[in-house]
Amino acid sequence: MYDTQTGEWIEPGKEPMSAPLQREPVYKHLAATFGWMFLALAITFVTSYAVYATGALYYVFASPYLLIAMVVAKLVMVAVLSRNLYKFSVGAARAIFLAYAATTGVVLSSLFLLYDVPSAILLFLAACVYFGAMAAAGIITKKDVSGLGGLVTCGLIGLLVMTVLSMVFRLSGLDIAVSFIGLALFMGITTYDAKRAKDYYYSFEGDGEMLKKISIYSALNLYLDFINIFLYLLRLLGKRRK
């Protein structure tokens, strides 16, 4: 056989083997996913504290329409990112995710007025422990969780219905039950989302750009899990300001 690159003849059976395709190890993909999640949490905290410290908090919550607009914007950003992940560039996906984190920070800035800061910090650390344990379980497990998507959806719908009933009828017992159920549910969802983050890697390991985008999508899911775990802990155990 004649090698057109070297201009030499190669004996049959001695053809050079092509170099194996280099792939990013799964741990690097997971590290990037959690890295984006932690960056989003940092942006949420900094934004939230800045809104509180500068007094902008009072302007934000003075108009219910502005608050409603931000909540709607958060829902729209999640929906748009989830539905158009294949179409968006990596930069666009990251921009939407970080914008969502900043908007969440503005909405959560009221927590500085409602809860004692040392108590909130302690519960934040507790949320880190719970989240870390459940995420680790999801990464380690080898069980197939693809069939649990419907169960997770049903659980979230049930939690939403109970939350609405608690808000309408103002039943303190139901509110406590909702908080316990919500905490347990999102701890389980954390394991589910962590396992899916690893599974996504094996689904797209041949597509570097898609891996970067799916990393952002997984980071968003895990970010939402952590925020909900923290908020439910705060509702159950947070020390309110007098």
pLDDT digits (tens, 9 = 90+) for 18-41: 434 445 678 888 999 999 999 999
Structure tokens given for 33 = 């996913």
Q: What is the pTM of this model?
A: 0.83
Backbone angles phi, psi at 73, to 5 degrees: -60, -40
The H-assigned helical ranges of 4-63 are 26-53, 56-62
CB 193 within 8 A of CB 156: no
109-165 tens-digit pLDDT: 988 888 888 888 899 999 999 999 999 988 888 777 766 767 777 777 777 777 777
DSSP category for residue 20 = P
Backbone angles phi, psi at 171, to 5 degrees: -100, 115
For position 229, what pLDDT does the model report?
A: 93
pLDDT band at 45, cuts 50/70/90? very high
CA distances from 31 to 36, 68, 198, 202 (A): 9, 34, 11, 15
CB 51 within 8 A of CB 105: yes
Of 129, 191, 188, 194, the residue nearest 159 (C-alpha): 188
CB 193 within 8 A of CB 94: no
CA distances from 145 to 125, 154, 193 (A): 28, 15, 9
CA distances from 172 to 78, 155, 159, 169, 228 (A): 31, 21, 16, 9, 19
- Residue 115 pairs with which residues in a beta bridge? 240
Q: Which residues in the chain belong to E strands, given as ranges?
A: 2-3, 8-9
For position 26, what pLDDT does the model report?
A: 82
Instruction: Write the single-letter amino acid at 92.
Output: A
* Angle (CA) 109 235 194, round 5°: 85
* Angle (CA) 24 32 104, round 5°: 155
Stronger pLDDT, 18 or 81, i.e. the higher one: 81
First vs last Cα of the chain: how many Å apart?
86
DSSP of 125-155: HHHHHHHHHHHHHHHH--S--GGGHHHHHHH
